[in-house]
Structure 1
């Protein structure tokens, strides 16, 4: 494991850190700033931030230059993830497109798809969402029922997707659709690229217990999609989806570590506000969380070293997913323990606004489900890493 970065990468860090210092207003670093802003306004502010990053040359850090990227190393991408988190910069509004769809299009898209999708996505002109999960087809994605019937050079699509991040704000959706009537399980599925503004497509927000509604559900009613707007070939949707998800599972965990390290400091500050820093039980919990975080940091650097060496992460990426998701939950369970019964109150203390932190604590319950549930990840680790029998 290599814990160092090259001189070129450290020079990139200095350049990025200076730009962030000049362009991230101090008020953006406060959770209360974002929680007090209407969701639509916050989304547009973050979208404008993405455009400014592109104009400054800080978009597509590890993308090839031929696609408008910076052509940087995996180390530069890790530095970017780390420094933007430390600076309190807004989260991207186009994460699913940039992290997963774009590299898939680069790998298997047609020349026309590469031209029409990658550039506008990098410039943040087109926001993408992902249409995989359905009612009755969440963990068992192969049970999907949304269907597309061929009519001339178009598919007529009917069905429903759910738990779609940014559904109400997205311009387009990459969706798994069963395009071979009567097919079962993994066969007969295609990945269609669908305009969210076209006739027959409707997105509705899903309000969560935290009050946020970044999720949505999408309904297709006789929506028409050109055959040419199929990524990876008709009937090859499952293999295309597995390629796309491999980019998600290849993440090193550095961005999660850096974000959680800031969250840890927030929780410690809250403990001081509540006069609990001398509580021996709480101090032990916080010490345990710090140990978990540092273990995640070393794991993240190990994975980054593998990526830089061109090694296949394989099923080992499931270890990273398990590690960071459970560390995240443990961290916010400590926050809930700090608040005690008051954790369920909208305003635990009149003099302290903890709503944004409470929302994060609620959100933490989901991280062991999305991106591959912990049960599924443990099975993968048992069978493909440890070699245990099924």
Structure 2
């Protein structure tokens, strides 16, 4: 009997997931573990350490640590060596993501550049752009932020109104971006600008690489409900950018953006699973401390989200298997983003259920520090919006993967 036709192939093909790593990849794991063990002080892993610092000191300490890690050869794991990377396998990158979480390593300060912009540059950037941008980015000499969202555009990226008017070899840019991660620390921004007068929707947009330290660029912090200012808004007032600093073709920025977002949405969920599973265990600890672990409704919810987590794990290993076999996931990347973001949100909804009426307290359990868990719970509300909302991901999956009618 022929196998059922799965969007990714036949049923038999779909279950051939490799859950193991090669001997070379395991040697890399040992090497990375030894380095992390020697370079992460114990104090750094204790609850509240990073939160107790000022945002500026927190950022600079992580920036320096990550630079040292790059110089030691533990950055750009899957990047070609010509760009300063390690030239490793997808399995090595998955191991890196996993071990960083397990070691409670400091969070990256240049994630938008390293994860999204760099691979886009490698794919379609000019030789000059690759040479000038990738190395300094890897060493954290230049911090990048992303300017896609706008106040009047919502999740509709094609509704952007920021404009760039040609003036000789430059574009003069005017407009506003919002919800810009790292806006207050960014040295440069990759941003979508409408560069063809009269163009609408997806046409006439270019992705420009703009220096944020020049006159005409102002970043302002946005206060989140957690009290942090991870995001900012960026104002362009007659800011100038050379036409050579367009990533991809001028007027073809939509295609460039879709390529960049494929890296954001399609990354293997190995790191997410590892982090979420640790957070799940912490939530179970809170449930036991409050005596809620005996509540049958809470137990059922914990069991359900644990099942979701294990499904995420197997999907992550499936994606890794496909990537190792050289397959381009294309629109299927939307499925990964949809799965991990929905699972993450479900996990923290269970946390709120565990706390019950104590959810508004900063210390619901004497002697148990749950401040970091509260912060994660609040952060979880955003993950089904940024990087393409869940509604957008469902539409893409339905139309482009499953072939359903529009």
Helix, strand or coil: the match of 1:33? coil
Question: Counterpart of 1:233?
Answer: 249
Question: Counterpart of 2:5?
Answer: none
- Structure 1 unaligned blocks of 5 or more: none
Choose the corresponding residue for 2:382, options 366, 378, 383: 366
Task: Please tell me whether the aligned partners of residues 217 and 234 of structure 2 are also in contact (alpha carbons under 8 angstroms).
Answer: yes
Question: Counterpart of 1:91?
Answer: 107
Question: Counterpart of 1:388?
Answer: 404
1:219 aligned onto 2:235? yes
1:190 aligned onto 2:206? yes
Choose the corresponding residue for 2:348, options 322, 327, 332: 332
How big is the shift at 1:306?
A: 0.3
Helix, strand or coil: the match of 1:365? helix
Deviation sequence 1:89-146 (CA, Å, 0-9, x none): 0111111100111111111111111111000001110000001110111311111100
1:69 aligned onto 2:97? no
How big is the shift at 1:349?
A: 4.4
2 CA distance for matches of 1:300 and 1:336? 26
List aligned pairs for 1:249-328, cutoff 5 A: 249-328=265-344
Choose the corresponding residue for 2:143, options 108, 127, 134: 127
2 CA distance for matches of 1:53 and 1:238? 34
Choose the corresponding residue for 2:196, options 168, 180, 194: 180
1 CA distance for matches of 2:389 and 2:59? 28
**TM-score, normalization by structure 2:** 0.93
Deviation sequence 1:190-224 (CA, Å, 0-9, x none): 11111111000000010011111100000001111
2 CA distance for matches of 1:147 and 1:140? 16
Choose the corresponding residue for 1:12, options 28, 39, 47: 28
1 CA distance for matches of 2:81 and 2:218? 36
Choose the corresponding residue for 1:166, options 182, 194, 216: 182
Helix, strand or coil: the match of 1:216? strand
How big is the shift at 1:350?
A: 5.4
How big is the shift at 1:377?
A: 1.0
Task: Please tell me whether the aligned partners of residues 262 and 333 of structure 2 are also in contact (alpha carbons under 8 angstroms).
Answer: no
List aligned pairs for 1:28-107, cutoff 5 A: 28-107=44-123
2 CA distance for matches of 1:234 and 1:279? 59
Question: Counterpart of 1:23?
Answer: 39
2 CA distance for matches of 1:27 and 1:334? 29
Choose the corresponding residue for 1:245, options 234, 238, 261: 261
1:145 aligned onto 2:161? yes
Helix, strand or coil: the match of 1:204? strand
2 CA distance for matches of 1:322 and 1:230? 30
Helix, strand or coil: the match of 1:32? coil
Helix, strand or coil: the match of 1:221? strand
Q: Which 10-residue stretch deviates more, 234-243 or 312-321?
A: 312-321
The number of residues matched between the two structures is 390
How big is the shift at 1:229?
A: 1.3
How big is the shift at 1:351?
A: 3.8
Question: Counterpart of 1:357?
Answer: 373
- Structure 2 unaligned blocks of 5 or more: 1-16
